[in-house]
Amino acid sequence: MSSHELWSAVDAYIGDALLGQDSVLDAVLERNAAAGLPAIDVSPAQGGLLHLLVRMVGARRVLEIGTLGGYSTICMARALPAEGTLVTVELDPRHAEVARANFAAAGVADRVDLRVGAALDVLPAIERDLDAALDFAFIDADKANNSRYLEAAVHLSRPGAVIVVDNVIRGGAVLDAESQEAAVAGTRAAFDYAARHPRLTATAIQTVGLKGHDGFLIALVG
């Protein structure tokens, strides 16, 4: 068995043992695939972690940057109380259209506010429209802008908020300080930003599984 096969088998075990059948999330992945979206959603186990973190924080206001078909969005939206809202930003209108159908099918459309555009362009309108500070943010879009997204998320967050950044390990490519890849440089800039920011206490956790070797940066806003 290759490492990837082993990691995938363990993810399948986690799914069977703890997560259970989820016909709504299965249908999301089917709709994404039918529409030709790339299969770069968080894994079921990672979605389970996002769901638990949103509940642990008792979040009512959540921001996501990078919706794709809304798999991670649905995991988080299901963790919100009735009066909770999640604002999610997606650049590609084709992705947003699939996400909208997925939110309706998942029964979370009332809690999800989907904004279409480049995140840095639409963040000012989101700031104006938010009626309370953020309790939780998930950053998962173009990695080159990760430190800017982190800055925006901190700015909008209440003390005690949690910020998660996806894909920060990149199969170990994050180690390369000389990398010419914008995603690696952007991720390293986010690590530096988190380490230096006086309001942030951060760690990163490597993950293996169905989606390979990657990880989450997790930061608490003080």
Q: How many CB atoms lie within 10 A of CB 20?
A: 8
Q: Does residue 162 touch ligand SAH according to CB under 6 A? A: no
Least distance between ligand DHB and beta carbon 29 (Å)? 14
- Residue found under tokens 């992945």: 29
Residues found near ligand DHB in the complex (CB under 6 A): 40, 140, 166-167
Pick 26 or 160: Cβ nearer ligand SAH: 26
CA distance 189 to 154: 15
Least distance between ligand DHB and beta carbon 50 (Å)? 12
- The answer to whether 86 and 110 are in contact (CB under 8 A) is no
Least distance between ligand SAH and beta carbon 90 (Å)? 5
Helix 93-106 and helix 23-34, axial crossing angle in degrees, nearest 10: 160
Q: Which does 118 bind (CB under 5 to 8 A by kind): Mg ion, ligand SAH, ligand DHB, none?
A: ligand SAH
Least distance between ligand DHB and beta carbon 167 (Å)? 5
| Contact letters for ligand SAH, residues 108-127 (x by CB under 6 A) | ----------xx--------
Q: Does residue 97 touch ligand SAH according to CB under 6 A? A: no
Q: Does residue 40 touch ligand SAH according to CB under 6 A? A: yes
Three-class SS state of 221: strand
Buried b (16+ CB within 10 A) or exposed e, 192-208: ebbeebeebebebeebb
Q: Which of 41, 78, 137, 147 binds ligand SAH (CB under 6 A)?
A: 41
Q: How many CB atoms lie within 10 A of CB 67?
A: 27
Looking at residue 188, its amino acid is R
CA distance 91 to 220: 27
Q: Which residues bind ligand SAH (CB under 6 A)?
A: 40-42, 65-66, 68, 71-72, 89-92, 95, 118-119, 140-142
